[in-house]
Amino acid sequence: MSQLSKTVVLITGASSGIGEATARKLAQQSNFSLVLVARNQQKLETLAEELSAHSSADVMVYPLDLTKLELIPAMVEAVLNRLGRLDVVLQVAGAGDFKPALDINLEEVVNQFQLNTLAGIVLSQAAGQQMVKQGNGKILIVASMSGKLPTPQSSVYAASKSAINTYAAALEMELESSGIAVTVVNPGPVRTPFFDHSSTMQDYIQNVDRFAMDVDQVAQKLANLVLKTGSMPREVNMPFTMRLAYWGHRFFPNLARWLTMRFANFK
C-alpha cells in the first residue's frame, strides 16, 4: 500500500498513557500513517522504532511542546508536506493537578489552559482548515468527565476541560456540512502516568482505583472511533457509571452536589 493511500492520524500526547496505547492499537492495522507528537523526543523515537519494527504502519515523529501555541500550525504544515493529507487528529495531550482553587498560582492556571484548551483550539483550527479542503476528516478530542462533573480541588483542570468541550460542540456544528466529524471523549479516572507527578494525584488515583479504567479500555474506544465509518457520535462519556452520574447531575443538581461532597470527594 502506498504512503499516500494510507489514513494519516496525528496523535498528541503519544509518548505515554492513552496516546501511546492508542498508537499501539492503530499500528496493528495495515492502513495507517501515524504522526506521534509529544515533548519527549527520546520516548517518541523509541516508540516509533518499536512500531515500525513490528507493524506495517508508517510512523513520523514530531517533538513539540504544545503550550508553544504559535508552533502548532507549522507542525500541521510539516505533516502535509511529508504525507500529503491529514485524515484524523487525535488530541490526547493534557495536564492537571488537584489543589484548592485559592492556592493555584497563575503559572499553573495558564499552563493547564494552554495545553488542555488553547492547544486543542489552535490544532483543531489548523487541521480543520486542511480537512475542509479535503472534504473529510475527523477531530477527536480527549477531554475529561471532570469537565462535566466538577469536584473540589479540580477547579482549573475541570474548567479547562469544560472549555474544550464547549468549543468542540460549536466546532462540530460548524463543520458538519463540510464532512468533518468532531467527537469529544470524556473518560473518568484512567490508570496512567498522568497521576504520577504529585502525591495528591497519586493518592487520588489510589482512592478511586475501584472506579478507574485501564488505559487499554480508553485506547480501544479511541481506536474504534478512528476506524468507524458512517455517522460519528458527538460525545462519548465513559465509563457507564460516570455517564449515569452525569445524567443525575443534569437533572438533579442539588442531590448530585450533596452526593459528590458526601461520597465522591476523594482528593
Contact assessment for residue 195 and residue 212, using Cβ atoms and an 8 Å cutoff: no
> Where on the phi/psi map is residue 135: left (φ > 0), alpha (ψ -120 to 50), or beta?
left
Query: Is 246 a known active-site residue?
Result: no
* Dihedral sign of CA atoms 143, 146, 150, 153 in order: negative
Please tell me the distance from the alpha carbon of residue 176 to that of residue 24, in angstroms, as a whole number. Answer: 29
- Set 62, 157, 167, 204: catalytic member: 157
DSSP 105-168: -HHHHHHHHIIIIIHHHHHHHHHHHHHHHHT-EEEEEE--GGGTS--TT-HHHHHHHHHHHHHH
Which is nearest to 151 in space by CA: 197, 79, 106, 200?
Answer: 200
User: Which residues form the catalytic set?
Assistant: 157
